[in-house]
Amino acid sequence: MGNPKQKWTSEEEEALRAGVAKHGTGKWKDIQRDPEFNPYLVNRSNIDLKDKWRNMSCSANGQGPREKSRTVKAKANSDAPASQVSTPQTAVPAPAARDSAAVPSTDDSSKALPDGKNSSIDYAGYFSGNFVEYEMVWYNTMIFEALSTLKEPNGSDTSAIVSYIEQRHEVPQNFRRLLSTRLRRLVSQDKLEKVQNCYKVKSNVDASFGTKTPALKAENQPRPLQTTVYRTTTDVVDEAGNAAYKIAEAENKSFVAAEAVKEADRISEMAEDTESLLQLAKEIFEKLFLTLQVRRVNACTQHSIRAESHALLIFENEPLY
DNA sequence: CTTAGGGCTATTG
DNA sequence: CAATAGCCCTAAG
């Protein structure tokens, strides 16, 4: 009676995604019970989670509704018994444009639905305006989700992960590169395990969602950088898209950036002793990386990059919160 | 008790 | 009208 269908909110969806990233698909009860997600999922049963996941993944798949085409309801007889349901599976041209959530693009003023529907994931609500971390967490979440969904016993290689994510979300041009950077970081943080060229989730990892840092206040942040790093190729028309283009271009020939990444990696390695220091190192790493990209666009010199590194090292000494 | 999968139906475009 | 999203039901482990 009093059951007018409860639409899923973006918070619930996000909690579910993160839950799957942490526990894996099929662990619906675990996800529902997990104190981390429970607050968002109090109104949902494990069955609801399963059903919702089914809906989310099939519509993101570009595949037809729920695996079996239900256009022919209730009279499915006289069908070819087997060897007939060849799912296309190949590269879907336009992977369901309904998911405007896409990749973390820091300024998403593009197409906000008038009624504020649940189509745009509100990470910002979770991470208090820290865009850098929010992008990082997005990558982590997608990686864990991909691995736990793909469930390959020997792990999945970069291509598999890339195509998994590509099928569900819009990705930037240099996505593969960014992703492998993230993968390497996760390996060095002992959250992933690399065998051959494949990545596996290390057991005993409390996954990406746990990396949220409540201590970071938006007001303390230097104000997010204006650059729009992520854009789809189809979106490259305005100056923002143009900037993204230049960034990608610059990145390709930017050995300097690679050096800086290594440097940042070393810093984070040293800081790995304590959680808070690690967090700090991540901050610095991401900031450095972002700054470098921006700098490249402005045709900066090695020299100024060095200076930037120094500035950031100084920044390390200052209390973050 | 939980999960996977099929089915039903109100809602949406 | 068809497609979809949320729920329900049931078999299987």
Q: What is the CATH number of the domain that holds A25?
A: 1.10.10.60
Number of domains in chain A: 3
Residue A153: inside a domain: yes
Nucleotides of B under 7 A from a protein CB: 1-11
Q: In what side-by-side order are the strands of the sheet with A192-195? A: A156-157, A198-201, A192-195
Instruction: Name the residue closest to the C1' of B9 by its CA.
Output: A5
Amino acid A5 CA to nucleotide B11 C1' distance, rounded Å = 9
Amino acid A272 CA to nucleotide C4 C1' distance, rounded Å = 47
Residue A236: inside a domain: no
Instruction: Count other Cβ atoms within 10 Å, centred on residue A171.
Output: 20
**Helices (H) then strands (E): counts for chain A:** 12, 3
Query: Cβ-count burial of A180 within 10 angstroms (0-12 exposed, 13-18 middle, 19+ buried)?
Result: middle
Q: How confident is the model at residue A176 (pLDDT cuts 50, 70, 90)?
A: confident
Residue type at position A75: K
Work out the angle between the directed axes of helices A131-150 and A158-168 (0-180°, nearest 10). 110
- Pair A176, A162: CB distance under 8 Å: yes
Could you give the residue ranges of the DSSP H alpha helices within chain A?
Answer: 10-23, 28-33, 38-41, 46-61, 123-127, 131-150, 158-168, 175-188, 239-252, 255-271, 275-297, 302-317
Amino acid A247 CA to nucleotide C11 C1' distance, rounded Å = 55
What residue numbers bound the domain in which A272 lies? 250-316
| CB-based contacts of A249, cutoff 8 Å, min separation 6 | none
Amino acid A47 CA to nucleotide B3 C1' distance, rounded Å = 8
Instruction: Name the residue closest to the C1' of B3 by its CA.
Output: A26
| d(C-alpha A208, C-alpha A11), whole Å | 16
Task: Render pLDDT for A61-94 as a digit per residue (tens, 0 to 9).
Answer: 555 667 554 444 333 333 333 333 333 333 333 3
Residue A143: inside a domain: yes
Nucleotide nearest to A72 (CA to C1'): C2
Residue A107: inside a domain: no
Task: Render pLDDT for A189-247 as a digit per residue (tens, 0 to 9).
Answer: 777 878 777 888 776 544 444 443 333 333 333 333 333 333 333 333 333 334 433 33
Task: Render pLDDT for A97-118 as a digit per residue (tens, 0 to 9).
Answer: 333 334 444 333 333 333 333 3
CATH code at position A190: 1.10.10.10
